[in-house]
Structure formats: C-alpha cells, structure tokens
Amino acid sequence: MSVPLSQMWTVATYVLGQRLRGRRRYPLVLMLEPLFRCNLACAGCGKIQYPAHILKKHLTVEQCLAAVEECGAPMISIPGGEPLMYPEIGRLVQELVDRKKYVYLCTNALLLREKLAEAIFTPSKYLSFSIHMDGLRKEHDDAVCRDGVYDDAADAIRDSLSRGFRVTSNTTLFDGANPLRVREFFDAMMDLGVEGMMLSPGYSYSKAPDQEHFLRRQRTRELFASILDSPKKRWRFNQSPLFLQFLMGKRDFECTPWGNPTYNMFGWQRPCYLLQEGYARTFAELMETTRWERYGRKSGNEKCQDCMVHCGYEPSAVQATFTSLVGFRDTVIATVSGRL
Amino acid sequence: MIEPGTLEGWAPSAASGDEFQHVVDLAFDYRGDVTVELSDGAERTGYVFNRDAEGTEPFLEMFETVGGPPERIRYADVRTIRFTGKDTAAGKSYAAWLERKTRAEADSAAADA
C-alpha cells in the first residue's frame, strides 16, 4: 500500500478526534466539483449532461474555500467536470495546500502538460494528481470514447513525475473487464511510476445513460477477486486494503454515504456523490436534515443494493481501521505483507 | 430530431397533488431546461436542480437561462412545467457510441478494401 505515513497519521488523528468528540457522522473526503464542464464526453458519465448555461458556470475560489472550511474533511478530491478547465485551479489548489489539506486533483490529464508548463502548480506532499485511467490503451480509449487519450495521459504522468509531483491513477472498472488485462494494466501503471492506484467498480447512476453496463454486486466481487488474487508485490494501491478486501468479497461493510460529501454549484448534494436526490444550502443542513436511514443496503433502497463504490465504502473501511483493534491489525498486516 | 423516450417537448397541462409532484420530479430529473408557468401568468425558463416536497413550504430551485443566482419557487406558485429545452442526455448512451464507432470502423475498412 502506498499512502504516505504523514497522510495516514493525519487521517488517523482526524478519525480518532471525531470519535473522541462523540461525532457519529463525519466527513473524510470532500468531493469538490468547481465546474461540470469537461473536454471529454465519456458515455458512462452522467456528470456533464447539462444545458450550456449550466456548463458555463463555475464556483468561485471563495465559494470552494468556504465549503472546505464548513466541511472540515482532511482530504479534498477535486473531480468535475475536468478541473484543469477551471480558470483558477492553480490558486484553488495552492489555497488548499496552504491549509494542509490533502488534495487529489482528479483529471483526465489532457491539459496537464500544458498546465505544468505554465507552472501553476508546485510539488507538495499535500498535492496528488489523480489521473483517470480505466485500463490499457484500448480499454481506456474506449471508456472515454476518444482514441489517443491513454497515450496523452501516460505522457502527462511521466512529465508530472519528472517534475516531482505525486501521481496516482484512478480506475473505474466496468462490467466485462478482463481480469488478465487489468493485471497487465496494473503492471503498466507501476512501470510508469505512479505512487499508487485507486480502484472502484462502476455504479448505475440513476441518470447515467449506460445503466445496464455497470457491475452488479456479485459480479463485482467475482471480478475483483480474480483481479486481486495473489497481488504482485510491486503493485501499490493508494486506498484502504480493507476496502479492496471488501471488493473481493472477503469482508462486508455498510455504506457511509456522508463520508465523501459532494459540493458543487447546486449546493451540498444529497445523499452522496452518486445519487443526486436534492441539495442542501449548508453542510450542517446536509448532515442534519438528510434522511440517512433511507440509504445504504440495509435501508432496502433499491438504488443502493448493487453499489460497492469507493465514495460510500472506503470511508467505512477507514473507519473500521481506526475504530477496532481487529480492523487496525488487518490493515497493518495487509499493508506490510502486500497480501489482500 | 427528438429522441424517442425523452420528455423533450412535453407540455403537461396544469395538475395538482401527486400528479403535480410527479411533474416536478420529472423536471428535476430532466437534463435540459424547462419553462415553469407561474399561477400569475409569468414564466421562468431554466434548469431545475433541486426540489423539496417534504418541508412545510415545498419548493423547487432553478438557474434561469438569463443568468443570475438560483431562484427558489414555491410549489404553490407553480401552475405547470413544460419541457422546452433540449434533453442533453438523449442519445448519449455507451451503446450508441459503440455502435457509431463500430460502424465507422466498418466503413473505414470497406473504403480501404
């Protein structure tokens, strides 16, 4: 596993601090979406299908920082849309780094080399470029509906690493993924030199146009079990090993929908990053007025039954690590041994 | 051309109760602009991004196409909602893209032969 010790320490002390304060629900990663505009139009993505006047809008840096303060999460993920199309992305990232927030800038990397050449980012332990890579060349280019994107992203990874930036890859695996090809893809990412990989199964967004293509729960377990069986020592993952074991069907968790709250131009999204059932004006309103009992598998909510996505279950895995001796022990064993 | 199955162009007549709530929910799910007809005869055109039917004063929220901050409109002030804008989600499925790509590859192979 490849999460740096300083980041692990920050998360551990944050989680324990929340527990000591008696907070039952607390955020771990803020999903900050400054805009919905994107320079790709991936068929599986329901995030960018808005009228032009919405796509032209974006949050101000001040609105973003106010959301960060309000939320208080130690880690900020900046997806979108394509965050490198946000006109003030350099200033936003620097402000977050100055606040000692761990930032994952989730990008398709098409604009990354241009932005690196403009020197709008400074290498920092708090900043990681999280490059969208859904597989080897053919699989990735198919997933993003454009040829040549894999090669551009690979070049951007090399460029970022040579300039001293932290780089991770983020991968969504869809129904029909070939486990052997995915294992080859892990090798390719390690060859490129990424610090760690992040994985998640796809989800059938209620508004996604590709619902029938996303993984169902059982097939998810089978797929991840075959991909991650006998993991190679050289593979590094930038996520909780307990979450990976959950994906493999080796342990079970309930969803933590408030773990990765989402903020965008519409407000605080209810109830989670994937479901879009309404918006609250403040983070406090989101936490206090969302009917959380309606979500997660135990709730019986049909939309949650097949979901195993990172935004709901990785916070559960992190919580398991830091709130039980068994969870902590299992995390340490998996981290040290590399076995899942 | 209007995509089959889309609500684009739909103009339901005034409704109330559950039927009205259903129209609001459809407008909230719709990935295009709508025109909200108010009971005083005024109209607002834009994107409905939020609605809350469970509070004491049910409301919807929209960004108008003319710009400005989001507007909150009480259900009680709405006569009906017309689906006047283009459905931006229509025809964007992965299957449709794959079909287009396969067809283009076949055409290219046929041209090379």
For each successive 10 residues of chain B (113 residues), what is the average pLDDT? 72 86 95 96 97 94 96 96 93 70 83 84
Tell whether A164 lies on the interface with B, counting CB pairs under 8 A. no
The whole-angstrom separation of Cα B83 and Cα B9 is 5
pLDDT in tens, B63-91: 999 999 999 999 999 999 999 999 998 87
Nearest to A42 by CA among A120, A127, A168, A140: A140
Tell whether B113 lies on the interface with A, counting CB pairs under 8 A. no
Q: Is the pLDDT of residue A231 over 70?
A: yes
Residues 6-25 of B with CB under 8 A from A: none
Contact: B47, A41; criterion CB under 8 Å = no
pLDDT value at residue A204 = 58
- Determine the structural domain holding residue A203 and report its residue range: 5-337
ipTM of the complex: 0.88
Measure B69 CA to nearest chain A CA, in Å. 10
Q: Is the pLDDT of residue A210 over 80?
A: no
pLDDT in tens, A106-145: 999 999 999 999 999 999 999 999 999 999 999 999 888 8
Domains of chain B by start residue, with CATH:
17-87 (2.30.30.100)
Residue A295 makes CB contacts below 8 A (sequence gap 6+) with A255, A257, A271, A272, A275, A301, A304
Rounded to an integer, the average pLDDT of A289-294 is: 96
Looking at the partner chain, which of B31, B49, B95 has a beta carbon nearest the beta carbon of A279? B49
pLDDT value at residue A57 = 96
Rounded to an integer, the average pLDDT of A294-322 is: 92
CATH number for A45: 3.20.20.70
In chain B, residues with a C-beta closer than 8 Å to the C-beta of A37 are none
Domain count, chain A: 1
Question: Which residue from A minimizes the CA distance to B34?
Answer: A51
Mean pLDDT of chain A: 92
Tell whether A175 lies on the interface with B, counting CB pairs under 8 A. no
Nearest to A154 by CA among A131, A134, A182: A131
Q: What is the pTM assigned to this prediction? A: 0.92
pLDDT value at residue A264 = 98
Measure A48 CA to nearest chain B CA, in Å. 9
